Structure 1
Amino acid sequence: MDINTWRGIATVVAMVAFLGVCFWTFSSKRKKHFDDAANLPFADDANHQNTLKNKQGHGD
């Protein structure tokens, strides 16, 4: 086998891996998980706001 055969095999493997990642990403089973992950920065902000309200309520 020469170098061009190995290049062809590597190209096919890379294409299969890319398509696998695409199907995994856009799978309907993963939608809720990705939506939750997308909202994580906002959840942290809500926790921060609750912490500030609790500290102000105690009169510290």
Structure 2
Amino acid sequence: MDAGTIHAIWTVILFLSMVGIIFWAYSKKQKTRFEEAANLIFADEEENSTSSQLKTGVEK
């Protein structure tokens, strides 16, 4: 095998890996999991505002 063949095989392997990752990321099975992860920052803000209200005794 020469270097050109090895590079071609490596390119095909990387391309198939990328296509697999894209299909995994956009599959419907992952949608709820990704939505939960996207909303985690808002859950943290609610928790922080609740704890700051308890400390100061002030409602927003």
Fold conserved between structures, TM > 0.5: yes
- Match for residue 47 of structure 2? 47
Per-residue Cα deviation, 1:33-60 (whole angstroms, up to 9, x for no partner): 0001111111111100110122234xxx
Q: How large is the RMSD of aligned CA atoms in angstroms?
A: 0.9
Matched, 1:2 2:5: no
Write out the 4+ residue segments of structure 1 that deviate beyond 6 Å after TM superposition: none
What is the total number of aligned residue pairs between the two structures? 57
Structure 2: runs of 5+ lacking an equivalent: none
1:35 maps to a residue whose letter is E
Distance 1:22 1:47 in 2: 34
State TM-score, norm by structure 2: 0.87
Structure 1: runs of 5+ lacking an equivalent: none
